[in-house]
Amino acid sequence: MKNSSKIILLVALAGFLAAAGNLRAQDKLDDLNVVTVALKLQLQAPGYNGKNGLTRTYAKPKAQSLNTKNLLDRLALDKQAQGLYAASSFPGGSKLAVAVDHFVVVKSNNELIVDVSDIVSFKSGTNDILSGSVNVSTGLASKKTTELILVALNFDDTFIAGGSDLKLFVQGLDTISTTDSTPNSSSGKYTENTSDKISNAAGEGQSGIAPFVVTGSIKGSRKTTLTYAPPAS
């Protein structure tokens, strides 16, 4: 198993820079990690002074949902403001995904719409805790492996004039499951399935001038056909 293909929520800066010129709108992307989020923001409510002037009372935090569709809506406005996307919304069925270590938005048929990795990014922790069986010869899962790794999601469009003015980070323990089929003896092709989930993500951020804390979950899913290349003898 190669880390770049099996870990859905891992963005490598070196890979991002190397591939930056290779993603073009309307390209159809074959190897995609589709990301979904379900977050709950609790925004600071304004306070008000009591009649006696001795107390200041604050209402309960204002709850606001932030899901994948909400993020896509914000990203469409951001990219329009940057002059990189013509419309104010993406087509129905659009997906947020990772491709070649880029965060991208793709159509339902996996056709690239726009690169959004200047706004959305992931960072991972140092320790990758592995369980399950790995084929010593190929390095592939045999048949399934599970990994635990700390992951943080960052969203920041505050640098964009006319953007949605949102900045947040959430982090949590990512559980990653990978299965690999046996490579074809002639072609070397095999199928890899990866799924992962951060169940108890937590973080903080700011929407406009309102600070908030955030909780929720992040999921990823990927299925692709790869080619096994035996190491040179």
Give the alpha-carbon dihedral of 4, 145, 31, 191, to 10 degrees.
130
H or E segment at 19?
helix 13-19
User: 118-151, pLDDT tens digit by residue?
Assistant: 999 999 999 999 999 998 888 899 889 999 999 9
- Rounded to whole angstroms, the Cα distance separating 105 from 35 reads 10
Six-digit token string for 89:
């919304």
Predicted model pTM? 0.82
CB 126 within 8 A of CB 96: no
The DSSP code for 136 is T
pLDDT at 23: 59
Predicted confidence (pLDDT) at residue 15 exceeds the cutoff of 80: no
- pLDDT above 70 for 44: yes
**How do residues 59-108 score in pLDDT, each as one tens digit?**
889 999 999 999 999 999 999 999 999 999 999 999 999 987 789 999 99
The pLDDT value recorded for residue 84 is 96
pLDDT value at position 222?
93
pLDDT of residue 159: 97
**What is the structure's pLDDT at 220?**
95
pLDDT of residue 137: 86
Domain spans of the chain, in order of start: 3-227
Whole-number percent of the chain with pLDDT over 90: 70
Residues 6+ apart with CB under 8 A from 80: 86, 87, 88
pLDDT for the residue numbered 229: 83
Give the model's pLDDT for residue 143: 82
d(C-alpha 42, C-alpha 203), whole Å: 11
> Quick check: 185 pLDDT over 90?
no
When pLDDT is cut at 50, 70 and 90, the band that residue 29 belongs to is confident
| pLDDT reading at 20 higher than 60 | no
Supply the mean pLDDT for the chain. 86
pLDDT band, very low/low/confident/very high, at 2 (cuts 50, 70, 90): very low
